[in-house]
Amino acid sequence: MRINSGVVLLTLTCLLSGCGSQRVKMAAPEAGDARDRSQASSPVDINVVKRWQALIEHPQLMALIQQALTNNPEQHQYQSRIEQAEALLKSRRAQDELKVEIATNYSHQQTKRDGFGAFGLDGRLSYELDIWGRRDANQQAALLAWQAASYQKQVAEIALTSDMVQSWIEIVALQRELALLQQQVKTNQTILQLQKSRLAGGVARVLDVLQQQEVLAQTQALLPDIESRLALAKHRLQLLAGSPSTPIDTSEATYPEFALTPEAGVTSDILYFRPDIEAVWRQYHQGEWLAEASRDERWPTFELSAVLSSGGASVSDLIEEWVLRLVASATYQVWDGGEQSAQELLADAQAREKYHIYRQRVQQAIYEIHTSQLEEHYQRQALAKLQKQRAAADAVLKQAELSYASGEASYVNVLNGLLSVQSLTRRHIEEQKTLVLHQLAWLRATGLATEFTN
């Protein structure tokens, strides 16, 4: 069999053109993007469990966090998205491989006199040259999509575990407030009995007893709201843990003590520890690569192929009678009604949108970090002043009780002092919870970044 020299020359020309091609580069990212898209690497697994272990020492809460990451359905959804992105990446990379196709056929023709059959076998090897870099751009886009999906799962892990810690903190606060209210109810009941005894002895007035009954009723009226909020908080914790029908024992629940607070400060590169920043950064550059691939669609495509065909009346003839064809082809679409230009405009607009999403996410992250720092700072001051106010209220109540016992003041002064102390005690629990939640918000805003503490 002789091979046409023109085919060989065209084949070599296409190969050399493919080896010496250069990609059409996009414009450089705007100022403010400190990293180039070529710096994208495999996503770093931040290991949310280990980060929480470095931040808190709370075995029961850590067990719930691990349970949630295993059982929560949303986590499995994000894992499925990673698998989809990985499958797409494998598909894009497979386009670089040589394509092998084999086809067999049998045909039978019948006439009035006789009939005959024929066997056929066709084999085809083909490879499309990526001269303009379109396949490479699609591969880079798929790689970035897979990396972004991995970081998005880490974002979901931080959100889930942070929500669990927040629910735990709220449960602790509500249980403390409920216990305080129950104690205050008992205290008010005791005082009421004392007032009734004093009334029977002619020391107290009827008005004093009625006023104490009002204070008792007022305290008891607060119980249903706290009990309902506590039940809902427990149910939410069960839901986050991935087992909504399984009760969680919180009878001994305590606040987690964070090993890191906003007072420690942050470094300038703290944003790079946030997986959501990493995710949108990769989505932005994925858009750039997709826009580049869209522009490469307008250029001709080149393909090399080798086709082996054989046929005959019997299977043995397939070995004896065969033809080999070597083909180098180029395809160029001359007119498409403007569809390709529209696709390029669409891809460019999508890339710009992702860039501004990235900018907005960075600005939002900075805002969240600074806001949580300020809130935690001023909440500490508010809590300190509240403690001073509580000490002053205790002193007022003590003096009112002494004055009432000596007959120098009415029982109204005692009631006012008692209500003030009980209200400030409940408020102290609420403000303490708010402080811990601000600390949690700061940790969440930094992406649970423990590295900068070293």
pLDDT at 265 (0 to 100): 54
Indicate whether 453 pLDDT > 70: no
Alpha-carbon gap, residue 196 to 184, rounded angstroms: 18
- The sheet carrying 115-129 orders its strands as 99-110, 115-129, 301-312, 322-331
Task: Tell me the HSE value of 371 on the side-chain side, using a 13 A CA sphere.
Answer: 10
By residue count, the chain amounts to: 454
For 122-143, the DSSP string reads EEEEEEEE-SSSHHHHHHHHHH
Q: CA angle 193-197-199, nearest 5°? A: 115
pLDDT, position 381: 95
Query: What is the per-residue pLDDT for 273?
Result: 76
Q: Indicate the DSSP class of residue 115.
A: E
Nearest CA to 204 out of 440, 407, 449 is that of 407
DSSP string, 216-276: HHHHHTTHHHHHHHHHHHHHHHHHHTT-TTS----TT------S--GGG---TTGGGG-HH
Main-chain dihedrals φ then ψ at residue 120, nearest 5 degrees: -135, 145
Q: What is the three-class DSSP state of 22?
A: coil
Q: What is the average per-residue pLDDT within 69-90?
A: 94
C-alpha separations of 381 from 156, 179, 360, 375 in Å: 33, 26, 32, 10
pLDDT tens digits, one per residue of 308-331: 988 877 777 777 778 889 999 999
Q: Are 300 and 104 in contact (CB under 8 A)?
A: no
Rounded to two decimals, what is the model's pTM? 0.80
| 406: Cβ contacts below 8 Å, ≥ 6 apart | none
pLDDT tens digit sequence for 412-446: 888 889 989 999 999 999 999 999 999 999 999 98
The rounded distance, in Å, linking the Cα atoms of 22 and 296 is: 11
Residues of the chain with pLDDT > 90, as a percent, come to: 60
Residue 301 corresponds to which tokens in the numbers above? 């495509």
Indicate the pLDDT class of residue 45, thresholds 50, 70 and 90: low
Tell me: the pLDDT tens digits for 94-103? 999 999 999 9
Q: What are phi and psi of 197, to 5 degrees?
A: -65, -40
Q: Residue 383: what are its φ and ψ, rounded to 5°?
A: -65, -40
**Residue 288: pLDDT over 80:** yes
Is a pLDDT exceeding 50 seen at residue 33?
A: no
Domains of the chain with CATH codes = 45-106+119-453 (1.20.1600.10)
Which of 104-118, 140-154, 400-414 has maximum average pLDDT?
140-154
pLDDT reported for residue 137: 96
Residue 435: HSE in the Cβ half-sphere, 13 Å Cα cutoff: 21
Average pLDDT over residues 195-206: 87
How far apart are alpha carbons 141 and 286 in whole angstroms? 4
As a whole number, the mean pLDDT across the chain is 85
> What secondary structure letter does DSSP report for 146?
H
